[in-house]
Amino acid sequence: MPPATGDGFDIVEATVAEIHAAFEAGERTAAALVDRYLARIEAYDDDLNAILTFNDTARKRAERLDERFAAEGLVGPLHGVPVVLKDNMDTHDLPTTAGSTALSGSVPDEDAFVVDRLRAAGGVIVAKANLQEFAFGVDTISSLGGATRNAYDLGRRPAGSSGGTAAAIAANLGAVGMGSDTCSSVRSPAAFNDLVGLRPSRGLVSRRGLVPLSSTQDTVGPITRTVADAARILDVIAGYDPADPVTATGADSIPENGYTAHLDPDALEGARIGVVREFFGRSSPASAPAAAAERVTAAVEEALDEMAAAGATIVDPVEVVDADVLAGARVLRYEFSRDFDAYLAGLDADLPYDSLAEIVGSGEVAPAVAERIRESDILDSLEQAENVGYLRSLDRRRRCREATVARLVETNLDALAYPPSAVPPVAIPDHQPFVEMRCELAAHTGLPAITVPAGFTDHGLPVGIELLGRPFAEPRLIALAYAFEQATDHRRPPDRFGTLV
């Protein structure tokens, strides 16, 4: 990898707009930018353990973009922008492993839909990031990559399953990142690493080429340092894909002027934000000390006060759905093995295993992940089409969605607000408690949600606040999140990963 160079342009916290301004001013080339990010990965990833695979062709790709820039200017909205992908998104030129040694030799024939869109927009894939193996859990531990660490405290978890992407973007090892979200996997890592994480409405972004965990709950979303960059990525990846028919439901909901057109610094003025009070506070005394959970609550309470100061009406509390019905709407246990095995069958690769059960039985899976799979009865699920429990959970999803949308409409709310996790990052080797993740409302309704930095605990740990909106209301959520971000400026880079000289 190339050494760092000092040339006056500091990539730490650089946004896409700032990168493009540097290109246009002649202060930076795409190739030199890639060099700088690769140098940061080389210098800092031993501490984070966030990266699984480097893209050895990234610089050549950037050089070709520089040639095109000289002839025609920016080729797209992500021209020359270094992207870190979660390693459960298919790439034709790099392994796609889902963090598992069992898939270490798997190089798919085609890019995932979102990867193809990112490249077409000019993005440069610089690396693929570690994740919770198979995206099943919230620690970010895998047999291939080991454990990723939190960028703000290396002794703590980064959440998961997209913790590698989040830690990398927080430490400025890439300009923007991509994660996937089955329940908490984009939003909690973003919150734990002082970032923006967006879970789109089900049907807005294609899942083609994503190593599946649950076809009903899975989606792909950006993990970025700013709301503007998240909106820019959504502009690129949203759209209809014939290979994923559910995207037909969102095709007519994409704004003609794009999502970046909705970055309104005054959007909180007159907005109505409902507080889901039942999502505050820890669910189990075993999860974390009471004082730790109280620090999260205090930060989110202050964020709500800041929203009110920016002109929002805070409606507190708002009851949404019955907790038992919401918990019973989880379909992952019925879909994981089925969907993963179908993915394996579609690979044109000589892999040693044909099913999730074979991989788990091989002993290759990280012990904490394998234990969780066994305890969940995923490998023992009945045939899904004949499973009454599965059908009941699907019906509960419908009921939760209808009830949540009705409450938003009846109370004239722009969004619901709550903490993405009721407790802060836990110390390694403890496991981040899933029971404290407040991810299920978005995951089980298919409604959009965005997490934005909300401040820090008095121990220096990042806290996020999550906003959930109506179906395909991403423009309004982006506007609200942007207004909050601009009013508060809670994003702060981690001290340990400063400018290279």
Q: Is 206 a catalytic residue?
A: no
Count of residues making up the chain: 501
**Catalytic option among 86, 180, 184, 337:** 86
**Catalytic option among 142, 161, 201, 214:** 161
Sheet holding 176-180, edge to edge: 51-54, 124-129, 82-86, 176-180, 220-224, 196-199, 449-456, 462-468, 415-418, 272-275, 313-315
Q: What is the dihedral of CA 48, 51, 57, 62, to 10 degrees?
A: -60
- What's the CA gap between 7 and 58, in Å, rounded? 21
- What's the CA gap between 255 and 263, in Å, rounded? 13
**Catalytic option among 143, 162, 185, 393:** 185
- Classify 129 as helix, strand or coil: strand
How far is Cα of residue 89 from the mean position of the Cα atoms in its chain?
12
Q: Are 217 and 183 in contact (CB under 8 A)?
A: yes
**Cα–Cα distance list, 71 to 66, 260, 264, 280 (Å):** 9, 26, 34, 54
**One-letter amino acid identity for 138?**
V
Report H helices in 243-379: 290-309, 323-327, 332-345, 356-362, 367-375
The widest CA-to-CA distance across the chain, in whole angstroms, is 63
Q: Is 161 a catalytic residue?
A: yes
Report H helices in 209-276: 227-237
- What's the CA gap between 354 and 480, in Å, rounded? 46
Q: What is the dihedral of CA 189, 194, 200, 205, to 10 degrees?
A: -70
Non-local (6+) Cβ contacts of 25 within 8 A are none
Q: Is 253 a catalytic residue?
A: no
CA angle, 122 as apex, 131 and 497 as ends, to 5°?
Answer: 45
Peptide bond into 429 cis (omega under 30): yes
- Classify 52 as helix, strand or coil: strand
**Catalytic center residues:** 86, 161, 185
